[in-house]
Amino acid sequence: MHACRKLTALGACRKRCEKCGHEVTVYCSCRNRHCPKCQGAARAAWLQAREREVLDVEYFHVVFTLPHELAPLALQNRRVVYGMLFCAVSETLLTITRDPKHLGAEIGYLALLHTWGQNLLAHPHLHCVIPGGGISTDSERWVSCRSGFFLPVRVLSRMFRGKFLALLQRAFEQGELECIYSPCPTWAIL
């Protein structure tokens, strides 16, 4: 049974209203970030604070995924492969958005690495949150992308693929990759 804010399992204190003198017992929380009783208010406050920090523009969610054939290599060479993934994504986004044909601006973005899929098998990919525009190359104005459209997916995927493969080739040639054969076709971690 979960003891959060129940009885005195986690401690309690008495609070009293300074105006009327009414007293109540307030039970301590577990402060676990997954506990809905404890963190609901903290989560809401955190989200509200973050909303004040974001730009008043449209945001886009873009995901860059490595092919499943590279998952075993990524598991054996986490630091190298995940570093290449971040580098290829960054170079792709910055190169294409600087091109006046696509946006002609310097962008910022947030990238989160996920190493597993919902089925708990290796599935390295980056989730990127990108504002719908950036600062012009002369740093004088904001350049917005088209409403509801960030960049062409084919252009992004082709450039990402080329940049990642070039980084992979270089890492292989420099002996930075360790390749160990494993007969397990799904490469699930036990």
**Cβ atoms < 10 Å from Cβ of 113:** 13
Query: Given its phi and psi angles, is residue 11 left (phi above 0), alpha (psi -120 to 50 degrees) or beta?
Result: left
Strand partners, 14: 25
Please, which residues bridge with residue 24 across strands? 15
Q: What is the pLDDT along the chain (190 residues), one digit of tens a residue?
A: 456 655 566 677 788 888 888 888 877 767 666 666 666 777 788 888 888 888 889 999 999 999 988 988 898 899 999 999 999 999 999 999 999 999 999 999 999 999 988 888 888 999 999 999 999 989 999 999 988 898 999 999 999 999 999 999 999 999 998 876 555 555 444 4
pTM beyond 0.75: no
